[in-house]
Amino acid sequence: MKANTTSLEDKARKILNNNWIGNYTIPAKGLYPHQWSWDSAFIMIGYNHYDLLKAKKELDNILSGQWKSGLLPHIVFDSDAKGYFPDPEYWGTRSHSPAGKITSGIIQPPVHAIAALRYYQHSKDENTIKEWFSKIFRFHRYLMEKRDPEHSGFATIYHPWESGFDNSPRWDEALKRITPEKIPDYKRIDIEHVKKAQERPTDEDYDKYIYLIEIMKKYDYDDEIVYQKIPFKMKDVVFNTILYVANKALFELSQIIGERTNKISNWLVLQENNFVKQFCPNPQEGLFYDYDLTVNDFVKRKTVAALLPIYAGFIDRTIIENTVKWVDHSHFCSSGTCKYPVIPSTSLGESYFAHVTYWRGPIWINTNWMIYQGLRKYNFERQAKRLRTAILNLVRENGFYEYFDPHNGTGHGAENFSWTASLIIDLIHKCDMMDLIIK
Ligand code: 9WN
C-alpha cells in the first residue's frame, strides 16, 4: 500500500512552524526552550526542502554562538526563556561567549557541515557558503586539534551531553568510576515536563553531569587543563562517525567556494586509516565501540551506536555486512516483540535495556535516519526500504515524539519534537540530496 505522505509532511511542517521563534527553532516547547547545536543542523535539513530562509537563519544563529577557540557550544541561550536547567548564568561562560550571546561551554556532534552542504544543493547560494565555511572549518579544526592531542584523527568528548546520547548505557561504567565531590545545590526542571521521571536520567546521573561541568568551570574551559583533569574522556564512535561525514561535506564546501583543502584531506585520510582500529575490535562481529581513554579500553555495549558507522560509508563492505546482520536481528527490532522494525537505542537482549528511558532503549529518529542513509550507501536496498517505511509508519501512527517505546511504538519525552519533524520531511523526500556526495 502506498503511504499517504502528503499529510504527514504537512503535520511535520506545522510542528516546525510552531517551534520556530524568530531566528531559530526550539527542539520542543516546555522541555527545551533554547537552541541546541546538533538539533539545529537536523532541523535545518528539513527546512532545506521548503524554506531556505529559515534554513539559513537556523544555522546563522547557532554559528553566532561560536567561541574564539572554534568551539561551537551545545546551547545558544535565548535570554528571555526561563525554565531550563542548567540555565545561562550557571555555565560561567560570559568571557568566552561572543558579545550579546550566552552559551553553554560544551559541544555536540558536528552535523552542521552536512546540513550546510544540503543547503547549497538546494539553493546554490555560494555567498552564504562562503560566510559559513570559515566558521564551520574553525569548529572542525578545534575538534581535530584541541580535542585530539593524540593525533588519532578522532575527537574526544568530556561529558555525556557532548555525545547527544546523554544517559546511554555506553557511559555507565565511566560514570560509575566518578564520585562527585563538591557540587552546588540545583533543582532539576526537566522531570516536570515528561509523563514519568523514569523517562529521563536519574538524579545520580545529573549529579555527575553537574560535577563534570564544575570541573570545566573551575579551569575556565581551558582545553589543555580540562584534558588533564576531567575524569570522563571518550572517543565517541557516533560523534566521530558524524565528524567523518561532516569532514567529507566540508571538503565539498571548500571545492564549491575554491578554498584550499589540504588540512581537510589530511583529516579524512587519517580517519579512514584509523577508524576500524580505533572503534572495531572484532570485524567479524561487525560492532563498533567507543574507546574510553581513562582506562584505555573499548566500551563494549550493544547499542545503536555500535551500528552507526555504516553512515560513514567508507568502511570495508566485508565488515559492514556483519554490521547489517545486527540491523536484521530481533534484538534490534527487525522482528519479534517490536511493533515496528525501527532500531532502538539499546539492544533488547541486554540487561541495561530500558524501554521508555531516554537513550537506554527507546527509538530515536535521528539515529535511524543516519542508519537509513548508511544502508543506502552500501545498497542494502531491502533493509533501507523496510526501515524508511517503518519510521514513517511509527511517526504517522504515534505522533512526532522525541522518542518511542520499541515494543509498542508509544511516544515519550517531548511531544512535537522538532528533529523528528524535520527528519521525517527529509525521509519523505528519501534524503535524495545526500546521495550526490557520499559514496
Ligand atoms: C542536554 C535537545 C537535546 C538533544 C540531546 C538530548 C537532550 C539535553 C537534556 O536534548 O539533551 O543537552 O536536557 O536532556 O539528549 O541529544 O540535543 O533536544
- % of the chain beyond a pLDDT of 70: 97
C-alpha cell at 41: 543542523
Quick one: average pLDDT of 139-150? 98
Task: List pocket residues of ligand 1, CB cut-off 6 Å.
Answer: 27, 32, 36, 38-39, 74, 161, 164, 166, 190
- Residue 70 pLDDT exceeds 60: yes
- Band (pLDDT 50/70/90 cuts) for residue 260 is confident
- pLDDT tens column, 161-191: 999 999 999 999 999 999 998 899 999 999 8
Distances (CA, A) of 149 to 37, 105, 141, 143, 218: 24, 19, 12, 10, 21
* Other beta carbons within 10 Å of 145: 16
| Higher per-residue confidence, 138 vs 336 | 138
pLDDT at 335: 85
pLDDT at 82: 86
Whole-number pLDDT of residue 439: 44
Average model confidence (pLDDT) across the chain: 95
Q: Which residues contact 290 (CB under 8 A, 6 or more apart)?
A: 170, 234, 235, 236, 237, 279, 298, 299, 305
Q: How far apart are the first and last CA of the chain?
A: 31
Determine whether 381 is an active site residue. no
Pocket test for ligand 1, best of 37, 90, 157, 166 (most atoms within 8 A of CB): 166
Q: Render pLDDT for 29-65 as a digit per residue (tens, 0 to 9).
A: 999 999 999 999 999 999 999 999 999 999 999 999 9
pLDDT tens-place string over residues 284-341: 999 999 999 999 999 999 999 999 999 999 999 999 999 999 999 999 999 888 999 9
Q: Please tell me what DSSP assigns to residue 66.
A: -
User: Band of the pLDDT at 81, cuts 50, 70, 90?
Assistant: confident
Element (H, E) at 42: helix 37-47
Please tell me the least confidently modeled range out of 12-21, 155-164, 409-418, 428-437.
Answer: 428-437
C-alpha cell at 208: 555527575
Q: What is the pLDDT of residue 435?
A: 46
Q: Relative to the CA of 166, which ligand 1 atom is closest? A: 15
Q: Are 308 and 286 in contact (CB under 8 A)?
A: no
Q: Is residue 166 among the annotated active site residues?
A: yes
The model's confidence at residue 261, banded by pLDDT at 50, 70 and 90, is confident
> CB count, 10 Å around CB of 21?
15
Range with lowest mean pLDDT among 138-142, 167-171, 233-237, 430-434: 430-434
pTM over 0.75: yes
Residue of 19, 32, 188 to mutate, ligand 1, most atoms within 8 A of C-beta = 32
Per-residue pLDDT for 4 more than 60?
A: no
Average pLDDT, integer, range 100-116: 97
pLDDT band with cut points at 50, 70 and 90 for residue 383: very high
Q: Is a pLDDT exceeding 80 seen at residue 69? A: yes
254 confidence band (pLDDT: 50, 70, 90): very high
Provide the Cα torsion 422, 425, 430, 436; round to 10°: -50
C-alpha torsion 138→141→145→148, nearest 10? 110
